[in-house]
Amino acid sequence: MEEKQHKRRVRYSGAYPKKYSEKYKELQPEKYADTVAHVIEKGGTPAGMHISICVKEILDFLQIKPGQVGLDATLGYGGHSREMLKCLQGQGHLYALDIDPIESEKTWARLQEAGFGPEILTVRLQNYSEIDQVAAEAGKFDFVLADLGVSSMQIDNPERGFTFKADGPLDLRMNPYQGISAAERLRTIGLDELWGMLEENADEPYAEKIAKTILRKRKKKEPIETTFQLKAAVEEALSFLPEAEQKEAVKKSCQRTFQALRIDVNHEFESLYAFLDKLPECLKPGGRVAILTFHSGEDRLVKKSFKAFHREGIYSEIAEDVIRPSAEECVRNSRARSTKMRWAIRA
């Protein structure tokens, strides 16, 4: 029998690990619970984890009861699903969808270990735009939740290409096995299309300058293949700004540029349009839906859809104002700050 070779843990310099791959304790929360608790207590998100946002507000609105059937349209790390499953108390069923095959497999295993097996939970590798297909099998839902944010596990892992804070391939796909990466998209996109994408998907004020810089670099045979290369292109585009303003402006424009590309390669607005359009017919009378959004483009679509269906009498009630996370939650989890929650009740 071949002896298993001992693998030494990753070594890092300094008191705390800085790179994602070095954070071996945070990446094993079941083994190093104290480390994970310490990171959360300091207001951080442990590597490989995601802290669910607005849990209390969601549960207060959805009013989940044992025996009901619900849908978590965006499973992610499974924090919201876990709390909704607790409310069912072993009676009823929760369907959960995600298009990320890497993270959904981990989440499904984690929830089963917590005691939520197939008798109470069904996990599907499926886009929430196909809610009608799920409802055709499951029946109409008593409650639906859609958290439209990108999970921290995706943002923090440089190999996924969602962050400009670490170098990695410029991918940005929720499912890295389908479609084209952001790097591939930038190889062929035209100036007007890229300019429009940055404006429409992220309200980028320097859209024209960033688009022209990216295409100029492509023309000079300097393709943008990595996250740092895209960040460098944004820095170059904004080099005309006064030095005192550049650092903060580059940071915000990088956030918006990555957001715009992510929305594009994942067809996020198209999926959201389809989901919102099909949603009413997938809810039981009195069924409740809560949606978390994280940027103005998403929020506008949700607000517009809810208002239109309310005017038609399809929704009996909708949120008049957005619900935001509490100040205390934003201190504990800085990634909650941009969250907006809207809700609707089926007539």
Q: In CATH, what number is assigned to the domain containing residue 205?
A: 1.10.150.170
Provide the residue type at 241 as one letter: L
Q: How many helices (H) and strands (E) does the chain have?
A: 14, 7
Instruction: Outline where DSSP puts E strands in 4-78.
Output: 69-72
Give the domain-ending residue among 265, 298, 318.
265
Please state the pTM of the whole predicted model. 0.86
Confirm whether 127 is domain-assigned: yes
The predicted pLDDT at position 1 comes to: 46
For residue 33, tell me if it sits in a domain: no
**How is residue 269 written in tokens?**
């607005």
Segments of the chain scoring below 70 in pLDDT:
1-50
Same domain, 189 and 134: no
- Distance from C-alpha of 94 to C-alpha of 323, rounded to nearest angstrom: 24
Write down which residue in 265, 293, 310 finishes a domain.
265
- Rounded to whole angstroms, what are the CA distances from 125 to 76, 128, 191, 316? 11, 10, 35, 32
According to DSSP, residue 323 is labeled B
Strands 141-147, 283-293: pairing is: parallel
pLDDT at 16: 58
Provide the number of structural domains found in the chain: 2
Q: Are 303 and 291 in contact (CB under 8 A)?
A: no
Q: Which domain holds residue 206?
A: 175-265
Q: Is residue 252 part of a domain?
A: yes
pLDDT of 14: 60
Around Cβ 43, how many Cβ atoms within 10 Å? 11
Q: Give me the pLDDT at residue 156, please.
A: 78
- Please report how many Cα atoms fall inside a 13 Å half-sphere around the Cα of residue 166, on the Cβ side: 14
Tokens of 297: 């483009």
d(CA 253, CA 268): 20
Would you call 12 helix, strand, or coil by DSSP? coil
**The pLDDT of residue 30:** 57
Closest CA to 174 of 198, 191, 199, 157: 157
